[in-house]
């Protein structure tokens, strides 16, 4: 059910659709693992149609409607320990805690050799720059924009070989580094990179590790990030449609070849982008 009315819909159905705040048109695949998405039922939609609120820690969580039920769509960070976790739910001035389980997932190791070792063992100046940028990026990831509708049904932003999957435990030039919190699509330099879904450009910048980067805010804590671009074609505040070109691929930042690094962020957590793409091309 989308929050718009087609002429062929009856007036009553149309009014019904408008009366309910429908916050997602397609839910991601559920995977209650570190780096995955938990779908937690919050009960039937009441006659008021008001969505309950939910938080993981202090971070607000997307609440979506599906078949008359409210569902919390919870992003689970890669470093979230497996085991029991609590979702805080608020409805009508009351709050309750809901338990849910996160099970462990094995992510393979990936060893990468970079000729430019200055992007692995950083100079003091580069270290200071990278640390400052990581703080900026953390704030962007936690951004929350209330929206009537969140489009969580993504297109793959570029067509190409899926070079590195989400979650790989990475070792650069023999040194362990942060896990791979996105999906790499190998594409030649200059390939059009498309917005995965409708949204608003939250930020653009040129970072030490991520290179030229675009963040698209899809509302209610769902954000996508496109890195290593050769050229950025949008500005902060621009509205972008699904499939709209936002830039051209490249290998700016820390990259061993031209590719798109694509991340999906949900309630501040980097989660597996493949959970959001219905039609992933055949591979593996
Ligand atoms: Zn990557």
Assigned architecture for domain 11-102? Sandwich (2.60)
- Measured between alpha carbons, how far is 3 from 75 in angstroms, rounded to an integer? 24
| 16-26: pLDDT as tens digits | 444 445 555 68
Q: Where exactly are the structural domains of the chain? A: 11-102, 109-276
Rounded to an integer, what is the distance from CA 137 to the centroid of its chain? 13
Determine the average pLDDT of the residues in 220-227.
98
| 99-129: pLDDT as tens digits | 999 999 999 999 988 887 787 788 999 999 9
Ligand 1 centroid to residue 198 C-alpha, Å? 22
**CATH number of this structure's domain 109-276:** 2.70.70.10
Ligand 1 centroid to residue 159 C-alpha, Å? 15
Strands 192-194 and 175-176: unpaired
| 94 contacts: CB under 8 Å, gap ≥ 6 | none
Pick the residue with more confidence: 241 or 256?
A: 241
> Is residue 12 scored above 70 in pLDDT?
no
Q: Give the dihedral sign, CA 37/266/264/116.
A: negative
> Is residue 204 scored above 70 in pLDDT?
yes
Answering whether pTM is above 0.85, one says: yes
Q: Give 28's pLDDT tier (boundaries 50, 70, 90).
A: very high
Ligand 1 centroid to residue 63 C-alpha, Å? 29
Segment (H or E) for 126:
helix 124-141
Ligand 1 centroid to residue 163 C-alpha, Å? 9
- Measured between alpha carbons, how far is 175 from 10 in angstroms, rounded to an integer? 62
Ligand 1 centroid to residue 238 C-alpha, Å? 25
| 53-103: pLDDT as tens digits | 999 999 999 999 888 899 999 999 999 999 999 999 998 788 999 999 999
Cβ of 215: how many Cβ atoms within 10 Å?
A: 23
Pick the residue with more confidence: 17 or 184?
A: 184
Ligand 1 centroid to residue 216 C-alpha, Å? 17
Ligand 1 centroid to residue 211 C-alpha, Å? 11
């Amino acid at each position: 059910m989308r929050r718009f009315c087609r002429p062929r819909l009856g007036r009553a159905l149309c009014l019904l659709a408008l009366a309910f705040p429908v916050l997602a048109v397609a839910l991601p695949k559920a995977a209650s693992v570190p780096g995955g998405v938990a779908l937690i039922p919050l009960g039937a939609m009441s006659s008021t149609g008001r969505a309950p609120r939910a938080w993981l820690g202090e971070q607000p969580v997307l609440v979506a409607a599906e078949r008359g039920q409210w569902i919390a769509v919870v992003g689970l960070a890669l470093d979230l320990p497996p085991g029991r976790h609590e979702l805080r739910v608020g409805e009508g001035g009351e709050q309750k805690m809901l338990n849910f389980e996160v099970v462990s997932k094995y992510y393979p190791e990936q060893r990468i050799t970079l000729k430019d070792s200055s992007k692995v063992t950083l100079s003091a100046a580069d270290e200071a720059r990278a640390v400052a940028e990581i703080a900026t990026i953390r704030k962007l990831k936690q951004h929350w924009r209330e929206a009537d509708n969140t489009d969580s049904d993504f297109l793959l932003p570029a067509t190409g070989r899926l070079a590195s999957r989400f979650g790989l435990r990475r070792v650069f030039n023999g040194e362990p580094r942060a896990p791979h919190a996105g999906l790499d699509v190998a594409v030649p330099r200059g390939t059009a990179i498309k917005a995965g879904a409708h949204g608003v450009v939250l930020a653009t910048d040129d970072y030490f590790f991520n290179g030229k980067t675009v963040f698209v805010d899809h509302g209610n804590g769902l954000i996508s990030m496109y890195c290593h671009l050769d050229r950025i074609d949008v500005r902060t505040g621009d509205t972008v449609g699904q499939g709209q070109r936002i830039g051209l691929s490249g290998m700016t930042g820390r990259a061993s070849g031209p590719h798109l690094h694509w991340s999906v962020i949900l309630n501040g957590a980097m989660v597996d982008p493949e959970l959001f793409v219905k039609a992933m091309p055949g591979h593996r």
